[in-house]
Amino acid sequence: MILIKKEILIDFFNELIIKQDYFECHEILEEAWKEKGNFTKEDVEVFLILIVTGEYHYRRDNLIGATTSYKRALKLYESNHYHFDHLGFEDSFIDDIYKRFYKLSEKPFEPMQFPVKDWVYQDLYDLYEDEFDSYSQFTISILANVVRNKHITDKHRLRDRSDVVEARLQALKNKIK
């Protein structure tokens, strides 16, 4: 079992829970996944990437995209039976993911209250303690937090992709030669 470094996990949880920037969660995990020596599409990082991708689509009312991402994630889980406790999630995580999946079309998006271990909240609080009077105030605040910033909710549409477009054009030119 290869663990994801704690610093990467905290960056991931900061984006997942505090900022609710699911696109950035995807980027963090994809980079960590690819930095592993031997990575495969069966790795737990891929499962988590699919979950945050599902959340991204769900928030944007793209139920087809959300359902597809969740189905793929759960299929991976059923094949691999990942253990999430070393990643900072509570035992109820996978049950909560299944419940979320089955109710995607029943109600509008609300940020998921991801069940995480106390150390995750404590490490996140350490990042933001200057902004709160107490740990209790911090946890109440993040549980009530709903991000609606268009730069986060529509990040994939608003980002500069000129380098990607240029690379694809160059690859096409090279292929034609």
Q: Tell whether 128 is covered by a domain.
A: yes
Long-range CB pairs of 37-44, under 8 A, 24+ apart, other chains included: 42/76, 42/79, 42/80, 44/80, 44/82, 44/84, 44/87
Q: Which residues, 6 or more positions from 167, have their beta carbon under 8 angstroms from its beta carbon? A: none
Q: Tell whether 55 is covered by a domain.
A: yes
Looking at residue 163, which CATH number applies to its domain?
1.10.3450
Inform me whether the pLDDT recorded for 2 exceeds 60: no
Q: Tell whether 117 is covered by a domain.
A: yes
Q: Tell whether 43 is covered by a domain.
A: yes
Q: Tell whether 61 is covered by a domain.
A: yes
pLDDT > 90 in the chain, percent: 73
Q: Tell whether 1 is covered by a domain.
A: no
Average pLDDT over every residue of 15-38: 93
User: How confident is the model at residue 161, as a pLDDT?
Assistant: 47
Q: Tell whether 76 is covered by a domain.
A: yes
Q: Tell whether 20 is covered by a domain.
A: yes
Tell me how far the alpha carbon of residue 27 is from its chain's centroid. Answer: 9
The partner residues of 116 in beta bridges, in order of sequence, read: 89
User: How confident is the model at residue 173, as a pLDDT?
Assistant: 76
Average pLDDT over every residue of 150-177: 62
Lowest-pLDDT range, 29-38, 59-68, 132-141, 168-177? 168-177
Range of the domain at 19: 6-176
pLDDT digits (tens, 9 = 90+) for 48-66: 999 999 999 999 999 999 9
User: How confident is the model at residue 28, as a pLDDT?
Assistant: 97
Inform me whether the pLDDT recorded for 166 exceeds 80: no
Average pLDDT over every residue of 121-127: 96
Q: How many domains does the chain have?
A: 1
